[in-house]
């Protein structure tokens, strides 16, 4: 892991040329604004710079990168990613650069360190703040650059309304506004305007909303039928999970969203610093909801191994182990809402700054997993945890991902190899 400061990043950018800038999947204002601002700043100093075309950029953002993009046939000398935390977030046209990013500029704590050098500050509300700090060292902040980076900063802090909109974010915005662009039309377009389709969806959600715990917890269902009935697209559904949280008195917003492949995605939004267990317990209610939870936890895991032999193919490749698992009542019971509540609280704690700061960096850590374990997002989740530990100073950190391995590596068909690796690691450390 090679992390560099904004001063070093500015030196790097001045020392190289022929840039290709990468944005992430489902591009938001932060990644697009950063790319536009960086590209214009590089061109201002006489460099050749382009943003790789990203087919998912919606019409809300295309204006900012007009004239700056290029197709896959361009051969760059230097590749820079902005606001991309992980390889899994590279859009299709950027896949050839999975192992070739010279500089990653990012603000996500889950940064995977896929680049040769990474300029990371996870305390920043937006990646746009980092790009501003970098480019102002070698370029003038023109109104066009100011506008692009303002879109970046304001997007990630919800037009300065989210809890991450700290003084530094406001200062960056003020500095950008000094360049002379007019922020009003931007704020209006991105934060005060909704598509008619979006409003119709919100109307349906409001009609079908269930309020629990005297109005503290709100539950909405967004079905494919609703989405199709209004012809809503990605842009109309952007951040729709935040909708229920806008209702006065609601602390826990639960959005159950049916996905295109028939699964149900549950988004849980709670008031900052207040993970109210009742939000998860609210899922206990009607039978249909319990079926959703079960489908979410197990059905989704099994799907990647279709066509399925059993409902637990995701456990491991050893069919005898899977059959024994399915016969064991201790493995196949349906978990209660309380178990989900406890698990979510635990997950939140262990990935929080507080939890990570409590780890002793001298304790050796060995992470191992199957790279086909859906619970660890096929290895991506394990790499994220590795990044967390690395960022928090764990000195002796080892990770092993077994090709083809599923959830229970100690029961896998290559368990002999797994046991031997664990033993070798233990003997080295004890």
d(C-alpha 218, C-alpha 237), whole Å: 18
- What's the CA angle centered on 235, arms 233 and 239, to 5 degrees? 115
Please state the closest distance from residue 273 (CB atom) to Mn ion, in A.
Answer: 21
- Quote the DSSP letter at residue 406: -
Near Mn ion by CB under 5 A: residue from 115, 119, 127, 382: 127
> Residue 367: enclosing H or E segment and its boundaries?
strand 365-370
Q: 122 or 206: whose CB is closer to Mn ion? A: 122
Q: Look up tokens 């016969």; give the residue.
A: 327
Q: Contact letters (x/-) for Mn ion, 238-277, by CB under 5 A?
A: ----------------------------------------
- Quote the DSSP letter at residue 164: T
Q: Where does 157-299 have alpha helices with state H?
A: 167-177, 183-191, 196-208, 224-230, 234-237, 277-281, 287-294
Near Mn ion by CB under 5 A: residue from 156, 236, 313, 408: 156
The pair of three-digit structure tokens given for residue 193, joined into one six-digit string: 């305007």
Q: Contact letters (x/-) for Mn ion, 1-40, by CB under 5 A?
A: -----------------------------x----------
Q: Which residue is nearest to Mn ion (CB)?
A: 30
Q: 147 or 156: whose CB is closer to Mn ion? A: 156
Q: 151 or 244: whose CB is closer to Mn ion? A: 151
Contact window for Mn ion (CB under 5 A) among 94-102, 124-132, 161-169, 354-362: 124-132
Q: 238 Cβ partners below 8 Å, 6+ apart?
A: none
Contact window for Mn ion (CB under 5 A) among 151-159, 183-191, 251-259, 402-410: 151-159
Please state the closest distance from residue 353 (CB atom) to Mn ion, in A.
Answer: 18
**343-352 contacts: CB < 8 A, separation 24 or more?**
344/268, 344/275, 344/280, 345/275, 345/277, 348/275, 351/388
Q: 30 or 412: whose CB is closer to Mn ion? A: 30
Please state the closest distance from residue 30 (CB atom) to Mn ion, in A.
Answer: 3
Q: Count of residues binding Mn ion (CB under 5 A)? A: 4
Q: 83 or 408: whose CB is closer to Mn ion? A: 83
Q: How many CA atoms lie within 13 A of 357 on its CB side?
A: 3
Q: 387 or 405: whose CB is closer to Mn ion? A: 387
Q: 105 or 127: whose CB is closer to Mn ion? A: 127
- Quote the DSSP letter at residue 310: S
Please state the closest distance from residue 244 (CB atom) to Mn ion, in A.
Answer: 23
Please state the closest distance from residue 143 (CB atom) to Mn ion, in A.
Answer: 22
Q: 29 or 76: whose CB is closer to Mn ion? A: 29
Task: Give the other-Cβ count within 10 Å of 123's Cβ.
Answer: 12
Radius of gyration for the chain, computed over Cα atoms and rounded to the nearest angstrom: 23
The pair of three-digit structure tokens given for residue 409, joined into one six-digit string: 């590596």
Please state the closest distance from residue 89 (CB atom) to Mn ion, in A.
Answer: 11
Kindly report the three-state secondary structure assignment for every residue of 18-30.
CEEEECCCCCCHH
Q: 102 or 156: whose CB is closer to Mn ion? A: 156
Closest residue by Cα to residue 361 from 336, 384, 389 = 389
Q: 202 Cβ partners below 8 Å, 6+ apart?
A: 194, 240, 243
Near Mn ion by CB under 5 A: residue from 21, 51, 65, 83: 83
Contact window for Mn ion (CB under 5 A) among 48-56, 125-133, 195-203, 298-306: 125-133
Please state the closest distance from residue 82 (CB atom) to Mn ion, in A.
Answer: 9
d(C-alpha 188, C-alpha 152), whole Å: 15
Please state the closest distance from residue 7 (CB atom) to Mn ion, in A.
Answer: 22
The pair of three-digit structure tokens given for residue 404, joined into one six-digit string: 């083809």
Cis peptide bond upstream of 13, omega within 30? no
Q: 39 or 127: whose CB is closer to Mn ion? A: 127
Please state the closest distance from residue 127 (CB atom) to Mn ion, in A.
Answer: 5
Which residues in this chain contact Mn ion in the complex, by CB under 5 A?
30, 83, 127, 156
């Amino acid at each position: 892991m090679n992390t560099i400061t904004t001063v070093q990043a500015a030196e790097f950018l001045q020392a190289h040329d022929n840039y290709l800038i990468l944005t992430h999947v489902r591009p938001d204002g932060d990644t697009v604004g950063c790319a536009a601002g960086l590209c214009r700043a590089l061109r201002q100093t006489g460099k050749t710079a382009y943003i790789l075309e990203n087919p998912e950029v919606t019409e809300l953002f295309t204006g900012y990168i007009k004239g700056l993009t290029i197709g896959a046939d361009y051969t760059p000398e230097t590749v820079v990613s902005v606001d991309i935390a992980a390889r899994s977030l590279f859009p299709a046209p950027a896949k050839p650069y999975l192992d070739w990013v010279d500089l990653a500029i990012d603000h996500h704590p889950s940064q995977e360190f896929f680049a040769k050098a990474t300029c990371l500050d996870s305390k920043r509300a937006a990646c746009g703040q980092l790009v501003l700090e970098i480019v102002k060292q070698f370029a003038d902040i023109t109104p066009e650059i100011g506008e692009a980076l303002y879109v970046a900063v304001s997007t990630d802090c919800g037009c300065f309304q989210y809890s991450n909109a700290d003084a530094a974010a406001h200062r960056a915005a003020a500095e950008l506004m000094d360049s002379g662009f007019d922020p009003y039309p931007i704020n209006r377009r991105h934060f005060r305007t909704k598509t008619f389709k979006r409003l119709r969806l919100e109307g349906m959600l409001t009609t079908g909303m269930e309020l629990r715990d005297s109005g503290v917890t709100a539950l909405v269902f967004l079905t494919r039928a609703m989405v199709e009935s209004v012809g809503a697209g990605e842009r109309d559904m952007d951040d729709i999970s935040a909708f229920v949280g806008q209702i006065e008195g609601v602390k826990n917003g639960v959005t159950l969203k049916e996905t295109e492949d028939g699964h149900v995605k549950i988004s849980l939004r709670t008031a900052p610093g207040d993970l109210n267990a009742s939000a998860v317990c609210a899922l206990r209610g009607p039978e249909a909801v319990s079926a959703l939870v079960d489908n979410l936890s197990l059905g989704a895991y099994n799907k990647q191994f279709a066509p399925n032999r059993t409902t637990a193919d995701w456990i491991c490749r050893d069919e005898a182990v899977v059959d024994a698992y399915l016969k064991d009542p201790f493995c196949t019971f349906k978990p209660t809402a309380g178990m989900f509540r406890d698990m979510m609280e635990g997950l939140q704690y262990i990935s929080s700054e507080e939890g990570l700061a409590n780890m002793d960096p001298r304790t050796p850590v060995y992470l191992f997993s199957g790279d086909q374990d859906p619970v660890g997002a096929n290895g991506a989740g394990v790499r994220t945890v590795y990044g967390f530990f690395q960022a928090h100073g764990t000195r002796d950190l080892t990770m092993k991902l077994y090709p083809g391995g599923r959830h229970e590596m100690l029961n896998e068909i290559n368990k002999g190899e797994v046991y031997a690796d664990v033993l070798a690691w233990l003997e080295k450390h004890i």
